[in-house]
Every structure is written in C-alpha cells, then in structure tokens.
Amino acid sequence: MNDKILSLLGICRRAGRLIIGAQPTVDSIQAKKAKLIIFANDFSQRSAKPVLEAAHSHNVKTITINRCKDELSVALGKLCGVAAVEDDGFAKKLILLNENELGGELHG
C-alpha cells in the first residue's frame, strides 16, 4: 500500500486510536475522545448527519478524504465509511496529508 493517508490510518488503528463506524464515532465524540472525524468520499449524507451534528456540537474537526468506503475497508480490514481519530498527533498528520492532496476537504 503506497498511500500515505491509508497507511497512517492503518497505523492509527493498530495503535488502538481509531474508532470505526458511525455510532462508535458519535460515542467517541460525546465522550470527548475524538480529535478528528474522517469520512469516505462516498459516505451517504443521511448516515453522516448524526456524526456531523455531534462533531459540530463538540467542536471536533471533520475531513472528507478522497478515498471510497471500499478503499478504507480494505486498508483497515473492517467495513468503514467514517472513523474517529483519538490521538492529536495522528489527527494533525492526517489533516496535513489531506490538505496536501487534491480533493481533500477540512470542515469545522
């Protein structure tokens, strides 16, 4: 895998600092553990709404990466369209990588 974003997400998951799935992500936000929320570019707006509302109300940054759910799922070994990063260092690096890549968006 020669994709820096997916590689870093894999390292984050192995370190136990990545929460996968919509409801676990909302739970992480509400527990004030989430530092960054990552959305796949094909994650449905309907499914994203409760996550975005929780992130907005708790001032957690969100990004949409230029990867689809299938790419994220293969890289992480689990079905994934949205994830929460619970580490400041990983979050900052992912934001930087995403900003440097065409198609990346930072929200909030």
Rounded percentage of the chain residues whose pLDDT exceeds 90: 89
Contact criterion met (CB below 8 Å) for 34 and 28: yes
Indicate which CATH number applies to the domain containing 48: 3.30.1330.30
User: What was the pLDDT predicted at 103?
Assistant: 54
Give the pLDDT confidence of 15-62 residue by residue, as tens digits: 999 999 999 999 999 999 999 999 999 999 999 999 999 999 999 999
State which residues form the domain around 19: 4-107
Give the pLDDT confidence of 73-97 residue by residue, as tens digits: 999 999 999 999 999 999 999 999 9
Cα–Cα distance, 29 to 36 (Å, whole number) = 9
* CA neighbor of 33 nearest in space, from 6, 64, 55: 55
Reading the block at residue 85, the tokens are 């990063």
Total domain count, the chain: 1
Residue 48 φ/ψ, nearest 5 degrees? -75, -25
76: helix, coil or strand? helix
